[in-house]
Amino acid sequence: FLSLVAEFCWGFFAILILGKFWFLAVLYLLWLYLDWGTPCAGGRRCQWLRSWTVWKYFREYFPIHLIKTSELNPKHNYLLGFHPHGVLVAGAFGNFCTDSTFKNLFPGLTPYLHIMPIWFGCPFFREYIMCGGMVSASKESVSHVLSNEGGGHASVIVIGGAEEALNAHPGSLTLNILNRKGFIKMALKHGAHLVPVFSFGENELFKQVANPKGSWLRNIQEKLQKAMGFALPLFHARGVFQYSFGLIPYRQPIHTVVGSPIPVKQNLNPTTEEIDQLHALYLQKLKTLFEEHKSNYGIPVHKSLIFE
């Protein structure tokens, strides 16, 4: 969805450059230069856009639900680890970039969804995603959000990143997390409490072409992902009037479960051992969260998370 909107924005920008309104493109390029650092400085959210009626229909289409398991004191800052990435990341967008679910369940907390910096280089599109509360996933951006004095900020990071999208097959429970410890270090440096979040149903929205590790397709996808910074999963779902083929996601319920916070004491210079210890604790809490709720959302008893 984001890719399609981004392509439309690039097309519109090209029309401005090539057409008689080229001066508008020049003015926008100047604005882009002056405003380049905003995605790393908290963005520019717009409550009007976050409250659009269309987001209500977007959430009801699947539908998307947010489940609260514990209170999050707004006097603290939090780093929410979102799992899994899926293809669309619909649960993250529906819950944290629109105003209805998170705002009602966790009053006093402002969520910021961190996404790849490359998206903020797209003309016009960058303004739209910032209005929704999306900011850069750079270290600078995460630090800005978690440095808020008095608390009340929640950084939402899709831990598995683009690489994990290649595992987004229906029924898949594989998470790319064993070597991802940067978010742990950021939490320690800022004393931000860690909160595991698991979105049941995220991988059921699309069917992806078989790409087991070691296959020629997976090798190509991984090389492209390293070169471009984002993954290119080959997927399909349903159409507008038929259910056999198309790019519209299947209507599968998404239940995004927000776990209990892991208290983190600020440590400006954490050692590798301290980072590893907190990372291990986070994995344990994430697995516990999954096991406690999997039976409610159709996951067989014998299935468990796989960490890579």
Quote the pLDDT of residue 19: 66
Which residues are within 8 A (CB) of 17 and not within 5 positions of it... i.e. 6 or more apart? 25
- Tell me the one-letter amino acid at 124: F
State the DSSP code for 239: -
Mean pLDDT over residues 273-291, rounded? 98
Mean pLDDT over residues 250-262, rounded? 97
Neighbours of 52 (CB within 10 A): 14
CATH number of this structure's domain 40-307: 3.40.1130
- Reply yes or no on whether the pLDDT at 35 is more than 80: yes
Euclidean distance between CA atoms 22 and 37, whole angstroms: 24
Quote the pLDDT of residue 247: 85
- Reply yes or no on whether the pLDDT at 8 is more than 60: no
Mean pLDDT over residues 118-145, rounded? 92
Neighbours of 207 (CB within 10 A): 17
Quote the pLDDT of residue 15: 56
Residue in the block written with tokens 């209805």: 100
* Angle ∠(199,201,204) on CA atoms, nearest 5: 135
- Reply yes or no on whether the pLDDT at 102 is more than 80: yes
Question: Between residues 6 and 17, which one has the greater pLDDT?
Answer: 17
Question: Between residues 168 and 31, which one has the greater pLDDT?
Answer: 168
- Reply yes or no on whether the pLDDT at 10 is more than 60: no
Contact between 131 and 46 under an 8 Å Cβ cutoff? The reply is: yes
For the chain, first and last CA: distance in Å? 27
Q: How confident is the model at residue 52 (pLDDT cuts 50, 70, 90)?
A: very high
CB-count burial class (<10 Å; 0-12, 13-18, 19+) for 40: buried
Question: Between residues 122 and 195, which one has the greater pLDDT?
Answer: 195
Say what percent of the chain tops pLDDT 90. Answer: 73
Q: How confident is the model at residue 73 (pLDDT cuts 50, 70, 90)?
A: very high
Say what percent of the chain tops pLDDT 70. Answer: 92
DSSP string, 21-59: THHHHHHHHHHHHHTTTGGGTT----HHHHT-HHHHHHH
Q: How confident is the model at residue 118 (pLDDT cuts 50, 70, 90)?
A: confident
Q: Report strand pairing: 235-236 vs 134-136.
A: unpaired
- Reply yes or no on whether the pLDDT at 2 is more than 70: no
Q: Which of 4-13, 79-88, 201-210, 240-249 has the lowest mean pLDDT?
A: 4-13
Mean pLDDT over residues 144-167, rounded? 94
Which residues are within 8 A (CB) of 122 and not within 5 positions of it... i.e. 6 or more apart? 6, 9, 10
Task: Give the 3-state secondary structure of residue 214.
Answer: coil
Q: Which of 19-28, 74-83, 136-145, 202-211 has the lowest mean pLDDT?
A: 19-28
What are the angstrom distances between the C-alpha of 34 and each of 28, 40, 101, 193?
10, 13, 34, 34
- Residue ranges covered by each domain of the chain: 1-35, 40-307
- Reply yes or no on whether the pLDDT at 22 is more than 70: no
- Reply yes or no on whether the pLDDT at 6 is more than 60: no
Q: How confident is the model at residue 233 (pLDDT cuts 50, 70, 90)?
A: confident
Which residues are within 8 A (CB) of 256 and not within 5 positions of it... i.e. 6 or more apart? 64, 65, 66, 67, 82, 91, 92, 95, 197, 198, 199, 200
* H helical segments located in the chain: 2-18, 22-34, 47-50, 53-61, 90-96, 101-105, 125-131, 139-146, 161-164, 182-190, 216-228, 272-293
- Reply yes or no on whether the pLDDT at 144 is more than 70: yes
